[in-house]
Amino acid sequence: MNRKPSPTQKRKWRTRAKLRKSRGGHPRLSIHRTGLHIYAQVIDDVAGRTLAAASTVDKELRGKLKKTANKDAAAEVGKLVAKRATKAGVTTVMFDRGSYAYHGRVQALADGAREGGLAF
């Protein structure tokens, strides 16, 4: 049974392939968004482990956010993941947007991470 990859899978593969070419030994900041939440994690692919993670379901953010599915919440997640990554010793990352376009909540998370101290 031969299944054709979906356009979403193709976009994700294309993004990851470009990251692999230009990585330079940096971990990647990978994101995932749903209709209600947004998740971010800093992944070291060489060691195969997650160095830092944050999302709108974290207890630290739940009381602070009015809504979890807007740009303000995404920016807060970006700041939190940047704080946790710098605590783990990571200052430079490659931004892995997956199959998502770089606008809206994805862009807000990236801007929040930059504001929090990550460089990419």
Flag whether 91 is in a domain.
yes
The structure's pTM equals: 0.89
Q: Indicate the length of the chain as a whole number.
A: 120
In a domain? residue 30: no
What's 66's domain CATH number?
3.30.420.100
Q: Convert the pLDDT of each residue in 69-84 to its tens digit.
A: 999 999 999 999 999 9
Residues contacting 102, CB < 8 A, separation 6+: 110
pLDDT (tens digit, 9 = 90+) per residue, 89-101? Answer: 999 999 999 999 9
d(CA 112, CA 24): 23
Residue 63 lies in a domain: yes
Q: So what's the pLDDT on residue 1?
A: 67
Q: Is residue 29 part of a domain?
A: no
Number of domain units in the chain: 1
Domain of 75 in residue numbering reads as: 43-115
What is residue 68's predicted lDDT score, i.e. its pLDDT?
Answer: 93
